[in-house]
A and B are shown apart, each in its own frame.
Chain A
Amino acid sequence: MNLISPIYIVAVSLGIAFFMGLLGNKAQRSSFLILIAALLFNTVVSVQWVYALATGLTDPTQIFTAGFKPPFSINLLMGLNESVITALINIVGVLGAFYMMKALKKNGTGSQVVFLVLFMSLNVVVLSRDLFNIFVFLEVGSIALAGLIILQKGTKAVSAGFKYMLATGIISGILLIGIIFIYRFTGSLNIDSIITNNPMLKQGAFVSAFLIIIAIVLELKSFPANGWGLDVYEASHPGIGAILSAASATATYFVLYKIVEIAGSQLNYYISLIGVVSFVGSNLLALKQENSKRLLGYSSIGQIGLLMIILGFKDILGENTTYVAFGILVSHYLAKAGLFWLSGIVKQKNIKDWAVTRKKPYFLFLMGTFIFALIGFPPFPSFFAKWTLVMDLVNSGNISWVVAILFGSMMEAVYMIRWFGYAIKGENENIESFKIDSYKIIPVGIVAIALYVAGYFVAPHSEVGTAINFIPLYFVAAIFILDFLPVFIKNTIAIIGMALYFYFVYPNLDTLRLIFEAIFMVGGILTLIAGYAYKGKRAGFYPVALLMYAGLTAIIEAQTTLQFFFGWEVMTAGSYFLIIRGKRSMPHGLSYMLFSIGGAYALLTGLGMAHAGQESFSMEILNGISYLPYWAYGLLIVGFLSKTAALGLHIWLPGAHGEAESDVSPMVSAILLKAGVFGIVLTLIGMGAANTQYSELAYALGWLGAITALAGNLMAVFQEDAKRLLAYSSIGQLGYIVLGMAMMTHLGWLGGFSYVINHFLYKAVLFLTIGAVVLRVGTHNMYQMGGLIKRMPLAFIAVMIGIIALSGVPPLSGFAGKWLFYNAILDKGWYFQGAIMFFSGGIAFMYLWRLIHTVFLGQLKDNHRNVKEISIWFLIPIYTLLAGIMVYSMKPQWVLQPLGNMIAKWFPEGQLQWVGETAISQYGHWAGSLVAITIIGSFLIVLIILMLSTRKAHKVKQFDITYSGERPERPETTHIAYNVFEGLYKAMWPATIPLVEAWWNKVTEILHNIADVTRRIYSGNGQVYVAHIVLFIIVSYLVIIGG
């Protein structure tokens, strides 16, 4: 194969640049075409090298200039890495030039020449193996860039450019000192010969190597000596920002990658250290940032910091280094370019004003893609890279590094998701929509698609990534493409798809997984049926709902921990989009996402610890973790608890569930929360189930569950919002489940699983019904409803059965869980937890009565006189679930016996004995069916007696009540619905102070204050920035010689 030598990139670019210079401004139109042609030529050259090197058609090739061999001449190396990096740079060059078409044309041929020279220099910087050559072209690049910065009009761009010149001037001076002294000490400027001849640099040579490396590190705008860089990001044309972030930073990073070898591995640790300071520091400082381009600048610096960490750890990462580095690099490169370009299209400075993006919904999709790629969500390459990075770091015992990296990532997620939240849900009424130029949107679209493609191709490259099941994701993608169809068709496709999938999947699952898969899939189908009630297109709903279900089923089917985590993150992303669809759910979506990401990071670390010392990634490694087992299991549990909303990690739930759409609330409450329970079950099985050595952990978990149950129920009592009430109730119910599981006995688990099924059934019923009622009456506030039993009797029946089941009153199914719990508690000896549970049960009656009374009973409001019964599409799933509750209530043994058999696998001791329909435990017995028959029988007898004695009961209307001789004036003043439990509140208000929320608010506030105070180092004065650079070098040197 005949390859075009990379030297032609330089030659052609320079030639064309001169030619264009000669042309001058005479041929404006053709000059731009020539520029594009030149950049395309560069791209073709590098891409053909990528192809040739990747397929093994050719070997890495050295290109010698001037006919001498190094060290007497400059040589270029074209290896696989170089070819990929140059390809990336050149692609961004083409796209960027296209994106900046208007600006480049307007500013004439000169700007185009400079643009071309910039990319030529970036290519050379990557390819060259000569230190001085690298210096020269770095300088050429920065001069070119300084020329391009000024393309943007205004003082800001000018002063930013000057600061940039000043800073890079000083930095390249430092670099030059380093280069000249390394030449002095090694007699060579060629990187390869320096490395081969001087494996360990000492003293003077070491100092000069340090200067070279620190200069490159500074070129990468390391925190905190990076004010000049931030200014450039903020002030320059968005296209320049994209080039800086995607192309320039990539090239400079590669330079660092090349030259770090000259110091051997002596500086690796410090590069990681600088990297982590950059990553954590700039992500933390970005918290207070409101200017979108500057925010992106902070984020870019953070990402480069992460890449420096990876570089520093290349000895530990071994052969994974390239994979991890490219994973992060490519995601960052594409996403950041896309975001910068987007910012040029949206044209809003303040991130709050990005709400205008929503006026063109496909831009939201683009923005979401970039942001989720940046914070490392699947299916983007950064997800796999981050996974591998954490696995390897934990495996090598660098836990504190993992913590720092994850903290930094967390901060990045905070501001990124917040920004995205503003875009989805912020106020946008007063902001003018933006124009879309096709030449601007095409590059953005290309990088967005490239992200997905990259993710798809990166996944199989990790050893365990091959097993990921992409079929559900294809389905999601298909639904996304079909999003223009009306609801009815999409809903049918979704339901059929899920049903088929469940049909094919369920034979392969064991009982445990089958239970959860059934909850996810059957529950999913039932809640989707409710979707028929919606009219129009319901744009964007089906892709995200199915994304969540795809994640859920991936969790169940996971054979490896990577698959599990992949599913977990997919589910998180899907549910986030679902939740944030609600009208007022911006802050709640954010907090949901942050707790989810925090939990996911805990999970990631835990899974990493499980993997430590093991070759395999199979789910089996959760059993008997040997590396820091307490921490590992603790982190796993914390990760899962963030999803079950245990006390302390619960503050996202009420808002998220309460403000979500009517059919989304049951999805995220009845179904999604069970994913956390599934995880806890897996962890507890991993801890050894009956023979656990970690009973302290289980004990703490049990207490947490009990207190969560109490707190959740207590908070539910004082809610005025029907859906929030149910949401708090979910917190409480999940507390029960956690307590049951934590008991680690047969009965405890039986009770826990009984609750899992029950909670799914009745919470789905309640949320669906209340959601449907809310759709009809148009408010969440219970005190604005009332008397709806007359208008919606079927909904009332559903809620009544739901609350009786929830409250655990016999004969309905909730009692099964209660009965099992008390037996388990006596068995286990957790008496106080049991008493707290019972008390929370008593409190539950209060909010349940409140729910049904204030909504359905009492006085019908005037404006609800004509409301219709809830939609038939809600009634179908509701009554299907009710049938489930009734079957479970009448024949509990049908459910409990198989459950018991399943649990006996892990807890063979203390099983329930079944004699016919009677369950016998050590402490008592319970005949579910007989009790139900007895109660129903006596109920009917009494009812018949009443009917016989009051044959002629006169039906009266709502104000036909005794009102002390008066008549009520209005339903609103007659309906006792607001602040109903005032007396209880007076007695128990200390327990309702939202301490947890205050704590998290305080944490947030402190972090933001730190960010606010720290970022004042960026005073805006160019001299200060130079001082930062000098100090950075001095401090780094002191740290290095001192450490």
Chain B
Amino acid sequence: MEIIALITGFALILIGLYGILSKKNIIKIIVGFSLFDTGLHVLIVTVGYIKGGTAPILDSVVGTTNVASKIVDPVPQALVLTAIVIGLGVTALMLAYALKMYQAKKSLDISDFKDMKW
């Protein structure tokens, strides 16, 4: 399971990167970025996973002794929440930009936005 998740995470990252680098359409690029982000999140969760561990909630099942080996690491889970929030923010802002860009040039082709170079 762990390895599949890891591979999935990396695959998503690479697919996302591929999308960002190869697609001309800005919306597709943003989708690529979302994939990239999602891959990251998968990765984070995978890293914190401990085989056979339960959710990191201290209840009667887990008990109070030897907790660390029974539950999955809670920190990455906390982190991933933050990361998702940030990713959401970034994506939203990007989409806002995409809207502005479309309004400016009536085009969503990223190669139309080369006013500044060199």
Q: How many A residues, CB 8 Å from partner?
A: 49
Of the residues B43, B90, B101, B115, contact of A169 by C-beta under 8 Å: B90
Q: Tell me whether A884 is interfacial, beta carbon within 8 Å.
A: no
Q: Tell me whether A529 is interfacial, beta carbon within 8 Å.
A: no
Q: How far is the CA of A1012 from the CA of B93 in the complex (A)?
A: 34
For B104-118 the 0/1 string (1 means CB < 8 A from A) is 110000110111111
Of the residues B82, B86, B115, contact of A1020 by C-beta under 8 Å: B115
- For A234, what are the chain B residues with a Cβ–Cβ distance below 8 Å? 116
Question: Beyond A139-B90, A146-B93, A165-B97, is A1022–B116 a contact (Cβ under 8 Å)?
Answer: no
For A122-154 the 0/1 string (1 means CB < 8 A from B) is 000000000010001001100100110010001
Q: How far is the CA of A234 from the CA of B114 in the complex (A)?
A: 13
Q: Tell me whether A253 is interfacial, beta carbon within 8 Å.
A: no
Q: Tell me whether A269 is interfacial, beta carbon within 8 Å.
A: no
- For B44, what are the chain A residues with a Cβ–Cβ distance below 8 Å? 176, 180
Q: How large, as a class, is the contact surface on chain B?
A: 35 or more
Minimal beta-carbon separation of B59 from chain A (angstroms): 20
- For A403, what are the chain B residues with a Cβ–Cβ distance below 8 Å? none
- For B21, what are the chain A residues with a Cβ–Cβ distance below 8 Å? 1023, 1026-1027, 1030
Complex interface residues of chain B between 1 and 29 (CB less than 8 A to chain A): 13, 17, 20-22, 24, 26, 29
Q: Tell me whether B89 is interfacial, beta carbon within 8 Å.
A: yes
Minimal beta-carbon separation of A157 from chain B (angstroms): 9
Contact of B89 with A1023 in the complex, beta carbons under 8 Å: no
Q: Tell me whether A155 is interfacial, beta carbon within 8 Å.
A: yes
For A151-164 the 0/1 string (1 means CB < 8 A from B) is 00011101111110
Q: Which residue of B is nearest A157, CB measured? A: B100
Contact of A132 with B79 in the complex, beta carbons under 8 Å: yes
Of the residues A169, A231, A1020, contact of B94 by C-beta under 8 Å: A169
Q: Which residue of A is nearest B112, CB measured? A: A159
Contact of B118 with A173 in the complex, beta carbons under 8 Å: no
- For A139, what are the chain B residues with a Cβ–Cβ distance below 8 Å? 86, 89-90
Q: Which residue of A is nearest B100, CB measured? A: A158
- For B86, what are the chain A residues with a Cβ–Cβ distance below 8 Å? 136, 139-140, 143, 172
Contact of B76 with A180 in the complex, beta carbons under 8 Å: yes
Contact of B76 with A160 in the complex, beta carbons under 8 Å: no
Q: Tell me whether B83 is interfacial, beta carbon within 8 Å.
A: yes
**Which of A89-97, A181-189, A589-597 participates in binding chain B?**
A181-189
- For A140, what are the chain B residues with a Cβ–Cβ distance below 8 Å? 86
Q: Which residue of B is nearest A234, CB measured? A: B116
Contact of A162 with B115 in the complex, beta carbons under 8 Å: no
- For B36, what are the chain A residues with a Cβ–Cβ distance below 8 Å? 169-170, 173
- For B118, what are the chain A residues with a Cβ–Cβ distance below 8 Å? 288-289, 1015-1016, 1018, 1020
- For A345, what are the chain B residues with a Cβ–Cβ distance below 8 Å? none
Of the residues B20, B22, B37, B93, contact of A147 by C-beta under 8 Å: B93
Minimal beta-carbon separation of A1009 from chain B (angstroms): 13
Contact of A176 with B90 in the complex, beta carbons under 8 Å: no
Of the residues A159, A288, A1015, contact of B115 by C-beta under 8 Å: A159
Interface of B is mostly: helix
Interface of A is mostly: helix
Contact of B105 with A166 in the complex, beta carbons under 8 Å: no
- For A172, what are the chain B residues with a Cβ–Cβ distance below 8 Å? 86
- For A189, what are the chain B residues with a Cβ–Cβ distance below 8 Å? 75
For A168-179 the 0/1 string (1 means CB < 8 A from B) is 011011001100
Contact of A156 with B93 in the complex, beta carbons under 8 Å: no
Question: Beyond A169-B90, A180-B79, A1023-B20, is A158–B104 a contact (Cβ under 8 Å)?
Answer: yes
Q: Tell me whether A196 is interfacial, beta carbon within 8 Å.
A: no
For B36-49 the 0/1 string (1 means CB < 8 A from A) is 11001001100100
Chain B CB within 10 A, most for which of A156, A162, A181: A162
Q: Which residue of B is nearest A158, CB measured? A: B100
Q: Which residue of B is nearest A138, CB measured? A: B86
Q: Which residue of A is nearest B117, CB measured? A: A1020
Minimal beta-carbon separation of B6 from chain A (angstroms): 11
Q: Which residue of B is nearest A72, CB measured? A: B75
Q: Tell me whether B98 is interfacial, beta carbon within 8 Å.
A: yes
Q: Tell me whether A1021 is interfacial, beta carbon within 8 Å.
A: yes
Q: How far is the CA of A132 from the CA of B105 in the complex (A)?
A: 38
Contact of B93 with A155 in the complex, beta carbons under 8 Å: no
Q: How far is the CA of A289 from the CA of B82 in the complex (A)?
A: 41
Of the residues A150, A1022, A1026, contact of B100 by C-beta under 8 Å: A150
Question: Beyond A136-B82, A1026-B21, A1030-B21, is A177–B113 a contact (Cβ under 8 Å)?
Answer: no
- For A1018, what are the chain B residues with a Cβ–Cβ distance below 8 Å? 117-118
Q: Tell me whether A653 is interfacial, beta carbon within 8 Å.
A: no
Contact of B76 with A183 in the complex, beta carbons under 8 Å: yes
Q: Tell me whether A1019 is interfacial, beta carbon within 8 Å.
A: yes
Contact of A184 with B20 in the complex, beta carbons under 8 Å: no
Q: Which residue of B is nearest A139, CB measured? A: B86
Q: Which residue of B is nearest A288, CB measured? A: B118
Contact of B43 with A180 in the complex, beta carbons under 8 Å: yes
Q: Which residue of B is nearest A142, CB measured? A: B90
Minimal beta-carbon separation of B38 from chain A (angstroms): 11
For A973-1015 the 0/1 string (1 means CB < 8 A from B) is 0000000000000000000000000000000000000000001
Question: Beyond A169-B33, A184-B47, is A159–B113 a contact (Cβ under 8 Å)?
Answer: yes
- For B75, what are the chain A residues with a Cβ–Cβ distance below 8 Å? 183, 189
Chain A CB within 10 A, most for which of B17, B86, B98, B111: B86
Of the residues A136, A146, A159, contact of B116 by C-beta under 8 Å: A159
- For B100, what are the chain A residues with a Cβ–Cβ distance below 8 Å? 150, 158
13 residue pairs A–B, Cβ–Cβ below 8 Å: A146-B93, A150-B100, A155-B104, A158-B100, A160-B116, A162-B97, A162-B98, A165-B93, A177-B43, A184-B47, A1016-B117, A1019-B114, A1023-B29
